[in-house]
Amino acid sequence: MKIQHLTEEQFASLTKRVRSSTDARRTTPRGSSREAAIQQTKSRRGESASSPLFASFVIAITGQLISGKNRVRIRRDGHHYPEKQFINWRAKANLELNEQLPKAPNIAVPIRLTCDYWPGDHRTRDVSGQLDALFYLLVYASVITNDGLIYEVVWRRHALYRFPKVVMEIEAYVAT
Protein backbone atom coordinates (compact mmCIF):
# COMPACT_ATOMS: atom_id res chain seq x y z
CA MET A 1 0.00 0.00 0.00
CA LYS A 2 1.35 3.38 -0.97
CA ILE A 3 1.26 6.18 1.60
CA GLN A 4 0.03 9.53 0.31
CA HIS A 5 1.93 12.54 1.66
CA LEU A 6 0.00 15.76 2.16
CA THR A 7 1.33 19.17 1.30
CA GLU A 8 1.19 21.90 3.94
CA GLU A 9 -1.81 23.51 2.19
CA GLN A 10 -3.72 20.21 2.08
CA PHE A 11 -2.96 19.55 5.72
CA ALA A 12 -4.09 23.07 6.77
CA SER A 13 -7.30 22.70 4.76
CA LEU A 14 -8.02 19.31 6.28
CA THR A 15 -7.43 20.44 9.88
CA LYS A 16 -9.57 23.54 9.27
CA ARG A 17 -12.48 21.35 8.07
CA VAL A 18 -12.11 18.98 11.05
CA ARG A 19 -12.02 21.86 13.52
CA SER A 20 -15.09 23.54 12.04
CA SER A 21 -17.13 20.32 12.07
CA THR A 22 -16.03 19.60 15.66
CA ASP A 23 -16.90 23.13 16.78
CA ALA A 24 -20.35 22.81 15.21
CA ARG A 25 -21.04 19.71 17.34
CA ARG A 26 -19.88 21.40 20.56
CA THR A 27 -22.83 23.19 22.02
CA THR A 28 -23.57 23.90 25.65
CA PRO A 29 -26.98 22.94 27.02
CA ARG A 30 -29.57 25.76 26.80
CA GLY A 31 -27.23 28.72 26.83
CA SER A 32 -25.35 27.79 30.00
CA SER A 33 -21.63 28.37 30.21
CA ARG A 34 -19.02 25.78 29.27
CA GLU A 35 -17.89 25.43 32.91
CA ALA A 36 -21.44 24.64 34.04
CA ALA A 37 -21.73 21.98 31.34
CA ILE A 38 -18.46 20.38 32.47
CA GLN A 39 -19.59 20.34 36.11
CA GLN A 40 -22.96 18.86 35.10
CA THR A 41 -21.23 16.09 33.14
CA LYS A 42 -18.87 15.33 36.03
CA SER A 43 -21.72 15.17 38.53
CA ARG A 44 -23.57 12.70 36.26
CA ARG A 45 -20.47 10.51 36.21
CA GLY A 46 -20.10 10.63 39.98
CA GLU A 47 -16.94 12.72 39.87
CA SER A 48 -16.19 15.71 42.02
CA ALA A 49 -17.11 18.83 40.07
CA SER A 50 -14.59 21.00 41.90
CA SER A 51 -11.62 18.59 41.60
CA PRO A 52 -10.01 17.95 38.24
CA LEU A 53 -9.46 14.36 37.23
CA PHE A 54 -5.93 13.02 37.20
CA ALA A 55 -4.11 10.85 34.71
CA SER A 56 -4.01 7.20 35.69
CA PHE A 57 -0.63 5.84 36.75
CA VAL A 58 1.02 2.54 37.67
CA ILE A 59 3.16 1.82 40.73
CA ALA A 60 4.82 -1.42 41.84
CA ILE A 61 5.99 -2.88 45.13
CA THR A 62 8.45 -5.75 45.16
CA GLY A 63 8.66 -8.44 47.83
CA GLN A 64 6.04 -10.53 49.53
CA LEU A 65 2.91 -8.68 50.67
CA ILE A 66 1.98 -9.10 54.31
CA SER A 67 -1.37 -8.81 55.98
CA GLY A 68 -2.27 -5.47 57.49
CA LYS A 69 -5.14 -6.44 59.73
CA ASN A 70 -3.26 -9.25 61.50
CA ARG A 71 -0.24 -7.06 62.27
CA VAL A 72 -1.84 -4.72 64.83
CA ARG A 73 -1.32 -5.19 68.57
CA ILE A 74 -3.11 -3.55 71.50
CA ARG A 75 -1.39 -2.30 74.66
CA ARG A 76 -2.96 -2.57 78.11
CA ASP A 77 -4.10 1.05 77.89
CA GLY A 78 -5.96 0.34 74.62
CA HIS A 79 -3.42 1.95 72.27
CA HIS A 80 -3.16 0.15 68.89
CA TYR A 81 0.28 -0.22 67.32
CA PRO A 82 1.69 -2.21 64.37
CA GLU A 83 4.19 -5.05 64.77
CA LYS A 84 7.85 -4.46 63.92
CA GLN A 85 7.59 -6.70 60.82
CA PHE A 86 4.78 -4.50 59.44
CA ILE A 87 6.72 -1.31 60.23
CA ASN A 88 9.75 -2.65 58.33
CA TRP A 89 7.61 -3.68 55.33
CA ARG A 90 5.88 -0.30 55.32
CA ALA A 91 9.20 1.59 55.38
CA LYS A 92 10.63 -0.49 52.51
CA ALA A 93 7.46 -0.17 50.42
CA ASN A 94 7.27 3.57 51.12
CA LEU A 95 10.82 4.00 49.80
CA GLU A 96 9.86 2.17 46.60
CA LEU A 97 6.80 4.39 46.16
CA ASN A 98 8.88 7.55 46.75
CA GLU A 99 11.31 6.45 44.02
CA GLN A 100 8.45 5.96 41.55
CA LEU A 101 6.49 9.06 42.58
CA PRO A 102 8.92 11.88 43.44
CA LYS A 103 5.99 14.12 44.38
CA ALA A 104 3.14 12.43 46.24
CA PRO A 105 -0.11 13.00 44.31
CA ASN A 106 -2.31 13.16 47.47
CA ILE A 107 -5.46 12.29 45.50
CA ALA A 108 -8.75 13.46 47.03
CA VAL A 109 -11.25 12.08 44.50
CA PRO A 110 -12.74 8.57 44.26
CA ILE A 111 -10.42 6.06 42.59
CA ARG A 112 -10.40 2.62 41.04
CA LEU A 113 -7.51 0.39 42.12
CA THR A 114 -6.40 -2.54 39.97
CA CYS A 115 -3.87 -4.86 41.62
CA ASP A 116 -1.90 -7.56 39.78
CA TYR A 117 -0.26 -9.81 42.38
CA TRP A 118 2.49 -12.38 41.85
CA PRO A 119 3.12 -14.47 45.03
CA GLY A 120 6.55 -15.76 45.96
CA ASP A 121 5.45 -19.04 47.52
CA HIS A 122 2.54 -21.51 47.66
CA ARG A 123 1.06 -20.23 50.94
CA THR A 124 -2.55 -19.15 50.88
CA ARG A 125 -2.71 -15.59 52.13
CA ASP A 126 -5.58 -13.43 53.32
CA VAL A 127 -6.44 -11.17 50.36
CA SER A 128 -8.49 -8.76 52.47
CA GLY A 129 -5.50 -8.41 54.83
CA GLN A 130 -3.15 -7.74 51.92
CA LEU A 131 -5.54 -5.10 50.55
CA ASP A 132 -5.74 -3.56 54.02
CA ALA A 133 -1.93 -3.26 54.09
CA LEU A 134 -1.91 -1.70 50.60
CA PHE A 135 -4.66 0.77 51.52
CA TYR A 136 -2.74 1.77 54.66
CA LEU A 137 0.44 2.19 52.62
CA LEU A 138 -1.25 4.38 49.99
CA VAL A 139 -2.52 6.72 52.71
CA TYR A 140 0.80 6.63 54.61
CA ALA A 141 2.75 7.51 51.42
CA SER A 142 0.27 10.35 50.62
CA VAL A 143 -0.82 8.78 47.34
CA ILE A 144 -4.45 9.16 48.47
CA THR A 145 -5.86 11.24 51.31
CA ASN A 146 -8.25 8.60 52.67
CA ASP A 147 -8.68 4.90 51.93
CA GLY A 148 -12.45 5.48 51.89
CA LEU A 149 -11.90 7.07 48.45
CA ILE A 150 -11.14 3.64 46.94
CA TYR A 151 -14.54 2.92 45.39
CA GLU A 152 -13.63 -0.06 43.24
CA VAL A 153 -10.95 -2.75 43.58
CA VAL A 154 -9.87 -5.37 41.06
CA TRP A 155 -7.54 -8.08 42.44
CA ARG A 156 -5.80 -10.45 40.02
CA ARG A 157 -3.59 -13.22 41.38
CA HIS A 158 -1.10 -14.56 38.86
CA ALA A 159 0.99 -17.72 38.79
CA LEU A 160 3.84 -18.31 41.21
CA TYR A 161 6.73 -15.99 40.46
CA ARG A 162 10.36 -16.11 41.53
CA PHE A 163 10.32 -12.44 42.56
CA PRO A 164 7.02 -11.59 44.34
CA LYS A 165 5.48 -8.22 43.58
CA VAL A 166 2.25 -6.28 43.24
CA VAL A 167 1.60 -3.83 40.41
CA MET A 168 -1.14 -1.29 41.09
CA GLU A 169 -2.92 0.90 38.57
CA ILE A 170 -4.68 3.90 40.07
CA GLU A 171 -7.26 5.69 37.97
CA ALA A 172 -10.17 8.02 38.55
CA TYR A 173 -13.42 6.28 39.43
CA VAL A 174 -16.22 6.83 36.95
CA ALA A 175 -19.67 5.56 37.96
CA THR A 176 -21.38 3.48 35.33
For the stretch 100-156, pLDDT in tens is 998 889 999 999 999 999 999 988 889 999 999 999 999 999 999 999 999 999 999
pLDDT band at 69 (very low <50, low <70, confident <90, very high): confident
Average per-residue pLDDT for the chain: 79
Sequence spans of domains, the chain: 57-172
pLDDT band at 18 (very low <50, low <70, confident <90, very high): very low
Residue-level pLDDT at 104: 87
DSSP letters, 90-148, are HHHHHHHHHHH-SS---B-S-EEEEEEEE-SSS----HHHHHHHHHHHHHHTTSBS-GG
Q: Per CATH, is 57-172 categorized as 3.30.1330.70?
A: yes
Cβ atoms within 10 A of the Cβ of 76, count? 5
Q: Which residue has the higher pLDDT, 25 or 140?
A: 140
φ, ψ at 31 (rounded to 5°): 80, 5
Q: Which helix (H) or strand (E) holds 150?
A: strand 150-157
Residue-level pLDDT at 35: 54
Residue-level pLDDT at 49: 43
Provide the whole-model pTM.
0.67
